[in-house]
Amino acid sequence: MIFLFGPLYSGKKEAAMKLLGCDASELAHRAVWDVQDLAAKSGDLPSLVEELARYDVVIATEVGSGVVPVDAEERAAREAAGRLNCLLARRADAVARVFCGIPIVLKGELP
């Protein structure tokens, strides 16, 4: 599994399509994105990671950089998203941060 993360609108899906050599319709079957939204709803992040690892590519939008929310629930959601990202990075064969459409490899090798 390849884990891609980065800021909103940074070209993560486009990078995934290039890495997999597929179009948007095929990407919908081989990848999952916006997984940071699943973290807050999950009571079991390790199980969520195993479920997500079935995909070829897992994509998360970075939510931890910026102003810390005042609302406790929003802070908890960010905390869960960060913890999920750490678990996904540990489980992944390759990890890349995508910035301006360019994947920057942090772990492993991209195809």
Residue 30 contacts residue 57 (beta carbons within 8 Å):
yes
User: Would you state the pLDDT for residue 6?
Assistant: 96
pLDDT at 86 over 90: yes
User: Would you state the pLDDT for residue 34?
Assistant: 95
How much is the average pLDDT of 13-40?
Answer: 96
Q: What is the pLDDT of residues 43-81, one digit of tens each?
A: 899 999 999 999 999 999 998 777 888 889 999 999 999
How much is the average pLDDT of 82-110?
Answer: 97
Dist. CA 6–CA 98, nearest whole Å: 5
Residue 91 contacts residue 35 (beta carbons within 8 Å):
no
pTM: 0.94
